[in-house]
Structure 1
């Protein structure tokens, strides 16, 4: 029996259902409260755009809620772990299970199973829903909650260096040689850095090299004269599509495979990708944080409830869980600065707290 992960199917089902229900309840509570607070802070900006009303507020909620669910699901697993184990301990169910010959790991086994399923669901949810809602929401915020851009992969407000000159695009869509820009402006600068000419156009396409401005309009700064050019013109010949990728890679808004492609393009161009590498690995290690929560909160399951130390043990479990999140964010930040290798920055907190949780559990209960 000691070598069976689930000695009793009935007991495992009972604990797993209890744990799953508490995860959902805690998550709903956190998301609803945080969504209301977030909506209060953003509703003024949403309604300030002409024509926006209640439907736009609901659209904002629909785009923001997946981000909140993804961010606070691990916290929900931690709190649900504490609540579930405290309930089992107070009702002397943990004592009954241990008296029946179950080890501490076997008592926690149903929680690990639910947490593993939660981790997989979180990863899929992030890849399929959160990245898309983040992309749309950021594009909507870039246009100050005006009409939502139709292109899902759109990038907004891009500034690019063209030698001494500057290229600006209000929107960029597409990839590689098929990339297109909208609302483009090209600023010619003299050796002192002063702008001498401004060329604007409603759209531009990649001309290999340079960008073909459609229906360009030239504004001469010195004479303050505006002239509509008769033919399309090519400008910004030193700007390539890869520079757009480099300037506007948002790891939160890209899926794992798409982010890998962006990293490859940036690396081929000879630029540093340490920060993005760390975020790529964290897209895998982040959802797995839910798998750690039953282990870190396990101290609340054991020890006699009547001793009066149950609350202290619950606080210790909660402190271990929140310490993991603090260390995880700190390690990722250090990785972004280059202090840690990307792989180590993403996985070191998980491995460290797994060892801490196992050490505490083995030394105190096994």
Structure 2
């Protein structure tokens, strides 16, 4: 008794998904390799000046890899889809599928699962892997810095208090010039503390050294100078890795960290709009890749006689790059507080989806 043949739909789904995934992975490897080379050209000299050697270069490249891969994923998806669809069109595979009754919408549906898989991998990369790797890189870079006191200062808020840190050293275990501005429930200044340094130990937590301060009563307009103290325990929930994260500027954050910042449970140096826009953009990553796939679809209409002389792949590539640029510009406006987070993330998807569908319908009716 002969074995029943596989369902042709599943065979086609496996073929198209495998072809798309292979080309996206290939494009990601090429783009990430180029970005790694450019990053190492810039950082090799500082790494060698710190006497970290070849091991330091290797560590830097490995810890930087997830961040570069996350940034290259949208462009890799666009180029991978263009390569696959163009090759299938020039090899008459698209014509054969059309003759078998497969429509443009049907072809797109077969490519959706692989694209969603890439998008979900991007979410995991952005949410879990990249924040950890960038945190490790920042801590390692700070720990090996021969002159950490030349690092930049930064502000953040913890609860109702505003805190200024002069610099971070020893991977976050030493802080220089700590200024704490405590505020009451009405956000009125109640006390200031100024310490020369702060040190962290696992057993005793944070300790402030060479401490001075002021006791402020704005209602009675009174200011009393506090006695000088050689050292004092610092009651804060922040750990050394938190100061490394805060000193890194707009470092990648996990969803749990963002939600903690929005709820006021974690220290933050970012505006709520910036955090909300980042959260929305992260979970819209699969939708963005589906739009890029839709932008690449018109290459299946390359005329057989034109072949590789067609400009259609170039136009599709330009449209995809325009989508990525516009998405980045609106996100930057959302980060600056000029646009609400939903307006900074969703309209680009809608506009380019409608534009791509218009191009596909126009080609279908020719």
Q: Structure 1-normalised TM-score?
A: 0.74
Unpaired runs of at least 5, structure 1: 1-5, 148-154, 174-179, 189-196, 206-210, 219-228
Aligned counterpart, 2:347: 348
Aligned counterpart, 1:123: 123
Aligned counterpart, 1:20: 21
Aligned counterpart, 1:265: 264
Contact residue 86 and residue 310 of structure 1 kept, 8 A: no
SS across alignment from 2:264: helix
Contact residue 155 and residue 165 of structure 2 kept, 8 A: yes
Does the alignment pair 1:185 with 2:183?
A: no
Distance 2:245 2:95 in 1: 57
Distance 2:311 2:42 in 1: 36
Contact residue 295 and residue 357 of structure 1 kept, 8 A: yes
Aligned counterpart, 1:138: 138
RMSD: 4.1
Aligned counterpart, 1:213: 208
Distance 2:130 2:340 in 1: 26
Contact residue 211 and residue 231 of structure 2 kept, 8 A: no
Aligned counterpart, 2:298: 299
Contact residue 327 and residue 349 of structure 1 kept, 8 A: yes
Contact residue 211 and residue 230 of structure 2 kept, 8 A: no
Deviation of residue 334 (structure 1)? 1.4
For residues 68-118 of structure 1, give each alpha carbon's deviation from its aligned partner in whole angstroms, at most 9, with x where no partner exists. Answer: 111001111100111111111101111111111111011222222211110
Aligned counterpart, 2:199: 203
For residues 318-356 of structure 1, give each alpha carbon's deviation from its aligned partner in whole angstroms, at most 9, with x where no partner exists. Answer: 111111101101101111232221111022212221222
Distance 1:259 1:187 in 2: 25
SS across alignment from 1:203: strand
Distance 2:84 2:100 in 1: 20
Change (3 A) 1:166 1:134: closer
Point out 4+ residue stretches in structure 1 off by more than 4 angstroms: 143-147, 155-161, 163-167, 243-251, 266-269
**How do 1:149-188 and structure 2 match up within 5 A?**
158=154, 168=166, 170=168, 182-186=174-178
Contact residue 257 and residue 266 of structure 2 kept, 8 A: no
Contact residue 279 and residue 346 of structure 1 kept, 8 A: no
Q: Which segment drifts farther, 301-310 or 311-320?
A: 301-310
Contact residue 156 and residue 267 of structure 2 kept, 8 A: no
Distance 1:107 1:347 in 2: 25
SS across alignment from 2:311: helix
Change (3 A) 1:317 1:184: same
SS across alignment from 2:118: helix
Contact residue 20 and residue 114 of structure 2 kept, 8 A: yes
Unpaired runs of at least 5, structure 2: 1-6, 181-192, 213-227
Change (3 A) 1:69 1:245: closer
Distance 1:137 1:128 in 2: 15
Change (3 A) 1:304 1:42: same
For residues 134-188 of structure 1, give each alpha carbon's deviation from its aligned partner in whole angstroms, at most 9, with x where no partner exists. Answer: 12223333455569xxxxxxx9954579x99965452699xxxxxx973343579
Distance 2:200 2:307 in 1: 71
Distance 1:186 1:267 in 2: 18
Does the alignment pair 1:83 with 2:57?
A: no
